[in-house]
């Protein structure tokens, strides 16, 4: 298909996203094509490793192509979205557990669905233009595609902060937070990919890695831990309201754009994941409990309307006054029974 270029070059299976005009946003067809390809390469001795990259300077993958989700959802067809997310999460799981090295090169925007294909591989490379984020709460979803796993594993309360503010991470921040592994200047990417194709040796990555330009998260960690330590979204909001720092003001402004129900559920998901039972399977299951209900019971359709349909950037969220009721969070995250995600 024209949106993706799949081939074997040397010892490398190559998957290149080729719709830079759309910031390489992931369509349903692209998702299925990547999954089928990974399945076929799993036992193929000709493929030693997999390289996932993208055309264009602006984005590795800006997220999922959500226009069709809106079109079907506004007609009352929730099954399409449920199938889309279930199939996408199955792909995320396959990348995470793939038996061969998966090397991703993430320039520019890597957000939402882009995190799902770029940040679960074994070798995650970022460069000087990289901007990684989980912005789902801004459209009435929760951090998904397995991203909640990384949020739960991030240092201190960084997971809550990134999940509810949708803050963007540069290369250094992404490595610190656990969304990436290695900084390689982008001028060196083409030669490095050629070496990987010729040798099939991921050890070639290490000699070209250098220290990235410094990010902001390390310096903010103490404030983040203090202000995002609440058990629920309302606790965090009250802590932020009493803090007069520039950091707290910036966080309040970012959160003011996002769906309160989504933020409350994002905090709850991160809290449920932390501990000895943390796994990619549990993360995807919790995410799917929300997304399977998102069109009918959450702010998703309103979020998409405001962001990409009418583009008025003025979503009318529910629960903008007072705390999000605990019961509403519980309802969004209840087990789905026979409709639960299967991987």
**Widest distance between CA atoms in the chain:** 60
Q: At what angle do helices 280-297 and 260-273 cross, to 10 degrees?
A: 160
Long-range (24+ apart) CB contacts under 8 A made by 40-45 are 41/8, 41/13, 41/100, 42/98, 42/99, 42/100, 44/13
Tokens at residue 122, please? Answer: 């074994």
Whether residue 17 contacts residue 4, with contact meaning beta carbons closer than 8 Å, is answered with yes
Return the active site residues: 64, 113, 136, 144
* Cβ-based neighbour number of residue 272 at 10 Å: 16
User: How far apart, in whole angstroms, are the C-alpha atoms of residue 113 and residue 152?
Assistant: 18
User: Is-contact 170 133, C-beta < 8 A?
Assistant: no
């Amino acid at each position: 298909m024209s949106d993706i270029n799949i081939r074997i070059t040397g010892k490398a299976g190559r998957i290149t996203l080729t719709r830079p005009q759309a910031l390489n946003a992931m369509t349903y067809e692209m998702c299925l094509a990547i999954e089928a390809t990974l399945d076929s390469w799993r036992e193929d001795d000709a493929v030693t490793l997999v390289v996932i990259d993208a055309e264009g300077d602006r984005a590795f993958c800006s997220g999922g192509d959500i226009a069709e989700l809106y079109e079907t959802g506004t007609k009352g067809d929730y099954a399409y979205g449920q199938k889309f997310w279930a199939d996408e999460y199955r792909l995320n799981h396959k990348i995470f557990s793939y038996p061969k090295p998966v090397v991703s090169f993430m320039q520019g925007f890597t957000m939402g669905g882009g995190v799902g294909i770029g940040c679960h591989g074994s070798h995650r490379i970022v460069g000087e233009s990289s901007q990684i984020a989980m912005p789902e709460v801004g459209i009435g979803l929760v951090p998904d595609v397995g991203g909640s796993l990384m949020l739960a594993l991030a240092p201190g309360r960084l997971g809550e902060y990134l999940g509810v503010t949708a803050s963007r991470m540069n290369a250094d921040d992404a490595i610190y937070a656990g969304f990436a592994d290695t900084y390689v200047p982008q001028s060196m990417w083409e030669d490095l990919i050629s070496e990987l194709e010729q040798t099939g040796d991921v050890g070639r990555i290490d000699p070209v890695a250098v220290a990235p330009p410094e990010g902001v998260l390390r310096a903010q960690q103490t404030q983040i831990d203090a202000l995002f330590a609440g058990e629920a979204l309302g606790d965090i909001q009250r802590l932020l309201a009493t803090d007069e720092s520039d950091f707290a003001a910036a966080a309040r402004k970012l959160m003011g754009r996002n769906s309160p129900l989504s933020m409350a559920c994002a905090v709850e998901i991160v809290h449920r994941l932390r501990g000895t039972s943390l796994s990619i399977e549990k993360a995807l299951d919790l995410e799917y409990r929300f997304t399977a209900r998102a069109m009918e019971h959450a702010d998703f359709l309103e979020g998409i309307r405001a962001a990409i349909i009418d583009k008025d950037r003025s979503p009318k969220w529910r629960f903008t006054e007072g705390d999000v009721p605990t019961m509403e969070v519980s309802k969004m995250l209840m087990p789905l029974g026979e409709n639960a995600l299967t991987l």
